Structure 1
């Protein structure tokens, strides 16, 4: 639940939020314009602890049956709790993070002086930074190239709530540990980091550990996940791989496959393909279809010409259809989806970065039937019937089925062994460079990078 707050005014002592909620604040001109309950915006680096952490009164906000509290981000720390926090920071290298990012020396100095406001502020700030990096990832958004996944963990695992939990329980390490990615691949990377001494290899492992933190901690009970540089797709149920499929992904450059987290809403058997205008007009396909009806029928093309002269070409279902015999309906602004292809021999190539962005999948009909059954949209018999009917049929996915399009250059392969994959899109460099820079505050959880709508020119490859 998000709450939008108006701009702080210099010298103001309170802010009234819609609904009559107010909290005290030592407001500064440089303070943020927006706050989320339980979160501290870090859009400007304050020059004092008071400016960094204004005291906030915990008052409930009621919207219907929902109640959310504004939780203070600076809370009292005992020496014992602060020592536990210092121990976590000292060992945070095991998670691929750097202890120097969390002001450990200053924290230890404050601990030696005993309980104080300075200790409360330092410890609360370091704890908040750890939460942010463990939950959301350390890499700033501008270093995550073509990353369009929205991580909702910050809305569920709020910093203020976690701080309260940690201090009330006294289990600082356990509270922070619940933020680390639950996927078994992250554990494999962590184990490899512990065994690796080579600085370059350690850095690459750390970068890929952080990529797991960019995703939501809970990926769901059943989902599809594809690692683009590996050219593999996995169907996973309860963290167990049910089946794997080789893939063909986007060519490097403008048609590189972006990183997405979407939801499959349906399986389309025997799809039609509306040909992009870059082919209809740009390559003259429209005129060819209209002028050669025999050829067009054999290829499955139907063309219509409007009064304004605009030609639309749709390829009908059939063995020559460029989408093959199925596509997964997963609406997204990039027009990216998973589908079959009639050019199945391409799956035998080692380098399969060949498409214009969409992901082509081997054994696609098997995948489609399995998806229809798991999604409870059809029985096995029904799915086989529509798949072999030759007619366009959309089977809805009733049970949620996320699909994650990821990019890991060090990851567990389909045989369960850690492997390194070619950085086909050059996305490692900015992530690796960010590890050498001081941690960045005020990291947005959504990118403002350009959304490239892919017109998948399937006919030419």
Structure 2
């Protein structure tokens, strides 16, 4: 097993050491303090039709109407300057009615200026915070962005006007992730119209996510076939992935949380294989080692593949409950990681060096993160992983997982690259940038949740 870097320490876990249950050492730097996302001051000037975001499966529009606030000419001019330069953020100045704002500024303070400036500012907040792309153009996007509740439009406007810092307040809404800044730099240097559109679309995809992704998280870019473990915005280790085939089994985009690491998992064989492919009847006639068959009262069969190196989930599965039944797991078919095109699964994400990842998460997920507790957690994780017994290790510290879809961005080596649009998800995003801006956008998708069944035996 290859080594990996955590903090400044390079840690190697040879396969022989894993087999002998030796513990990886010096995995983590001291735990940094948790920094919560900065919220704008309380005292919203918004009228909100619903108090909480809708579930990810409903197409509910959160009707938020910012109250018109009083603007002076200096603040309005600062807003006009932001709009004039908003192309730097990949947005179109025309979306924010600059001519109407300039006319109101020329007329001086009053109701017309208050209305024009409040409207333009509110639209800028929505697009910088949530993304300009309407939900119907975000195919298989099942993430509900929390930022609209953390940075409420009326509060942001009140803060900007109270501090006379319109430009800085709006700039603070940009995604914190360094990859956004890399795309922004590329946009400034690129003159090709097609490339500029693609960069703008991928800048917007960062806005679809939470501004603050957390101190430690997993993020996988499906078209890149790579998974990153990130701590304090630094990539700690990377893993090749195998993702869903195009079509019905394409991997959706999610933001979930790892609740546990399952070592030596079982696999409940889908009925499409048990009944549809006759596996259940075949096992009743000729039992095979590694499979347990249970006959139900109604005559149906439940087939569970037992833990072991040939198990279809491999030796590790991340427990991350979600309505799609998507998770990250190992695979016995590790030779497939050598293929260039790895869109091969039925939706779930298979991960190389899965035991290494599982042990690392077991350590990172330890609340009492001292050198002693880290070593104890590592010792226990290695022992469990080599026991051959089904064991679930809970993750106590938050470990978000972001399943994303970027067709342009930094690769695992830090180089800006374009990735194949394997699911054809670029076209509707690009088309939405050519269309007029959509107001009162839904915060959650109306697409049906497709429960993915990873029929691993078929690949």
TM-score of the pair, normalised by structure 1: 0.85
1:34 aligned partner: 49
Q: Per-residue deviation at 1:275? A: 0.3
The yes-or-no answer on 1:305 pairing with 2:295 is: yes
1:10-41 per-residue CA deviation (whole Å, 9 max, x = no partner) reads xxxxxxxxxxxxx999xxxxxx992559xxx9
1:40-59 superposed matches below 5 A: none
Q: Per-residue deviation at 1:307? A: 2.6
1:276 aligned partner: 270
Residue in structure 1 matching 2:338, options 335, 345, 348: 348
- CA change 1:36–1:107 in 2 (3 A) is farther
SS of corresponding position for 1:181: coil
- CA change 1:355–1:83 in 2 (3 A) is same
1:252 aligned partner: 246
Give, in whole Å, the separation in 2 of the partners of 1:114 and 1:42. Answer: 35
Give, in whole Å, the separation in 2 of the partners of 1:24 and 1:105. Answer: 26
2:210 aligned partner: 216
1:47 aligned partner: none
2:62, 2:442 within 8 Å by CA — same for their partners in 1? no
1:135, 1:154 within 8 Å by CA — same for their partners in 2? yes
1:134, 1:180 within 8 Å by CA — same for their partners in 2? yes
1:327 aligned partner: 317
Give, in whole Å, the separation in 2 of the partners of 1:444 and 1:409. Answer: 24
Give, in whole Å, the separation in 1 of the partners of 2:380 and 2:408. Answer: 40
RMSD, aligned CA: 1.9
Q: Per-residue deviation at 1:73? A: 2.2
The yes-or-no answer on 1:166 pairing with 2:160 is: yes
Give, in whole Å, the separation in 2 of the partners of 1:35 and 1:395. Answer: 38
Give, in whole Å, the separation in 1 of the partners of 2:443 and 2:209. Answer: 11
1:110-149 superposed matches below 5 A: 110-149=104-143
Give, in whole Å, the separation in 1 of the partners of 2:127 and 2:243. Answer: 30
- CA change 1:206–1:398 in 2 (3 A) is same
1:31-430 superposed matches below 5 A: 34=49, 73-293=67-287, 296-297=288-289, 300-376=290-366, 379-430=377-428
SS of corresponding position for 2:75: helix
2:222, 2:405 within 8 Å by CA — same for their partners in 1? yes
SS of corresponding position for 1:379: helix
SS of corresponding position for 1:88: helix
SS of corresponding position for 2:409: strand
SS of corresponding position for 1:257: coil
Bigger relative contact order, structure 1 or 2 (CA pairs below 8 A, ≥6 apart): 2
- CA change 1:235–1:152 in 2 (3 A) is same
Give, in whole Å, the separation in 2 of the partners of 1:36 and 1:175. Answer: 24
2:443 aligned partner: 445
Q: Which of structure 1's runs of 4+ aligned residues deviate more than 4 A?
A: 41-44
Give, in whole Å, the separation in 2 of the partners of 1:383 and 1:42. Answer: 45
Give, in whole Å, the separation in 2 of the partners of 1:106 and 1:243. Answer: 50
Which stretches in structure 2 are left out of the alignment for 5+ residues?
Answer: 1-43, 53-59, 368-375
1:87-131 per-residue CA deviation (whole Å, 9 max, x = no partner) reads 000000000000000000010011011101000000000000000
